[in-house]
Amino acid sequence: MPVNAIVFDLDGTLLRTEELKALSYAKAAIELCPYSITEEEAIEAFKDFVGLSRMEVAQGLIERFDLTEKADARKAEFSVSTAWQAFVQVRLKYYQELIADPQVLHENQWSHNMDLLYMARQHACKIGLATMSHCEQVNHILDILNLRDQFDFVATRDDVEYGKPDPEIYFLVAAHLGVKPEEILAIEDSPAGVEAAIHAGAQVIAVSTPFTKDGLHKLDNLNPHWIVDHPHDELLPRVREFIQDF
């Protein structure tokens, strides 16, 4: 099946926002934790939940660090009903401070994947974005980095009922790009994102990061050939196996 569209993930793929997210979750966990933990410990724990929804990340870290009681105590402050929602609000305070700074966003682009995005646009490929970030944050990032015109369709967590690794977001993007899921080449960095693309029937190249490398190599349904650990040397040759004139 020929590739007629390239669909990018955002966090961890186009931007090193997983590092910023990890730091924000770590700071929130430290704020709520009933015992002493370090940023390094919390960031290491976050790696187990990369690519999942806010709820899944928050619930995982709450369980890992016994945050329920202190998060429960903050529910009224944020007018929410659950401990995980309160934890998310504490975390968002830190994350919004980070991404509000345009310089932080510009300094945290993954150059190899950004170069691929611009090359895809020059080759008149259909281009989509399939991200588990929420619409408001995605719009902020796209505007700061002048990326809004680079995509033919953008799908966010707000557009689907189920998050990655469910394939719903890929089916949605395929429908709006006017292609079959099998005609998509997905560029993902996380195991959850890779699983979503595979379950949809898309082709996938996994570009690893320090947060996702180990998890990607543990996947049993992705040929290691399609895991790119050295993108400056390996990414374009892998893409050209799908699109010969790229």
pLDDT of residue 50: 78
Query: For the packed helices 83-99 and 17-32, what is the interaxial angle rounded to 10 degrees?
Result: 130
Every domain of the chain and the residues it spans? 5-16+110-242, 18-102
* 81-104 mean pLDDT: 94
Residues whose CB falls within 8 Å of the CB of residue 8, separated by 6 or more in sequence, listed in order: 14, 113, 117, 127, 128, 129, 130, 186, 187
Judge: domain 5-16+110-242, CATH 3.40.50.720.
Answer: no
Residues 74-91: tens digit of each pLDDT: 999 999 999 999 999 999
Q: Edge-to-edge strand order for the sheet containing 153-155? A: 153-155, 126-130, 5-8, 184-188, 203-207, 227-228
Q: Is the pTM of this model over 0.75?
A: yes
Give CA torsion, residues 20, 90, 30, 218, to 10 deg: -50
